[in-house]
């Protein structure tokens, strides 16, 4: 089947961002006077819930009776503070692309393929990350970027992929998705997309049944074999 476009997840797929998200959550919690510590094991558990705001809600559920009362506006402010920290950290240059990503993006464009993003993270985070990891033309490589705010249901729901396909004006069969997590794979597959999985720091233990390929990173991905 000929390929017309590649659609990329962001967190864990383009770059290992989750330790930056975790540090940003820690900064926001400390600033708000909240004595919460999300260590690596707890964060791995919490990552089953996609979306930072949804993740904080899940944590409040876990705290049960010990949870402070947090109005919806407080939750939104806490999440906005976390994303401000995230943006500052990536703009300071503390994030790099995963191996092979830049080569694949530029090779795909050179071969006439179109690129899009389907992510659950906030648009501000994508706008901070792309120039930081890809340089000034980073964002313009992608024709469409579907972010957390753009959909009603985040991954594993297929909404972000459905919207990306609609923006591209393409059918699922014309595209290939790149993901790093079970949630992302489920979202892409539910939209009918063949999916390449590159497990990341926080998803290496997951299972990826139904993936078209599972590879360490896209440095091992042979684009020519998919389009020729």
Least CB distance to ligand XBP at residue 227 (A): 25
Question: Interface with ligand XBP includes 12 (CB under 6 A)?
Answer: yes
135 to 174: interface string for ligand XBP, x by CB under 6 A: -------------x------x-------------------
| 183 vs 198 by CB, closer to ligand XBP | 183
Cβ distance to ligand XBP smaller for residue 54 or 227? 54
Each residue of 48-61: b (16+ CB within 10 Å) or e?
ebbbbbbbbbbbee
Distance of CA 56 to the CA centre of its chain: 17
206 binds Mg ion (CB under 5 A): no
Query: How far apart are CB 179 and ligand XBP at their closest, in Å?
Result: 7
182 binds, among Mg ion, ligand XBP, none (CB under 5 to 8 A by kind): none
Q: Residue 27, SS3?
A: helix
Cβ-proximal residues to 13 (8 Å cutoff; 6+ apart), any chain: 98, 178, 179, 180, 184, 198, 200
Q: Does 203 bind ligand XBP (CB under 6 A)?
A: no
Distance CA 109, CA 187 (A): 24
8 Å CB contact between 164 and 116:
yes
Among 26, 119, 178, 198, binds ligand XBP (CB under 6 A): 119
Which pairing describes strands 213-214 and 194-197: parallel, antiparallel, or unpaired? parallel
**Active site amino acids:** 9, 11
Binding site for ligand XBP (CB under 6 A): 9-12, 21, 50-52, 83, 119-122, 125, 148, 155, 181, 183-184
């Amino acid at each position: 089947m000929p390929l017309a476009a590649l659609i990329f997840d962001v967190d864990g797929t383009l770059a290992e961002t989750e330790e930056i998200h975790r540090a940003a959550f820690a900064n926001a919690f400390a600033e708000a006077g909240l004595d919460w510590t999300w260590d690596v094991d707890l964060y791995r558990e919490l990552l089953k819930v996609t979306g930072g705001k949804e993740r904080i809600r899940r944590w409040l559920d876990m705290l049960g009776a010990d949870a402070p009362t947090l109005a919806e506006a407080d939750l939104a402010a806490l999440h906005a503070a976390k994303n401000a920290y995230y943006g500052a950290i990536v703009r300071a240059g503390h994030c790099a692309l995963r191996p092979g990503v830049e080569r694949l993006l530029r090779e795909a464009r050179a071969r006439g393929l179109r690129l899009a993003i389907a992510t659950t993270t906030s648009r501000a985070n994508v706008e901070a990350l792309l120039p930081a990891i890809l340089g000034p033309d980073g964002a313009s490589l992608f024709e469409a970027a579907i972010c957390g705010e753009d959909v009603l249901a985040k991954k594993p729901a297929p909404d972000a992929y459905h919207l990306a396909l609609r923006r591209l004006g393409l059918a699922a069969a014309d595209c290939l998705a790149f993901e790093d997590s079970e949630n992302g794979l489920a979202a892409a597959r539910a939209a009918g997309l063949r999916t390449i999985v590159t497990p990341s720091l926080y998803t290496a233990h997951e299972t990826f049944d139904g993936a078209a390929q599972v590879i360490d990173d896209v440095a091992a991905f042979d684009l020519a074999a998919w389009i020729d």
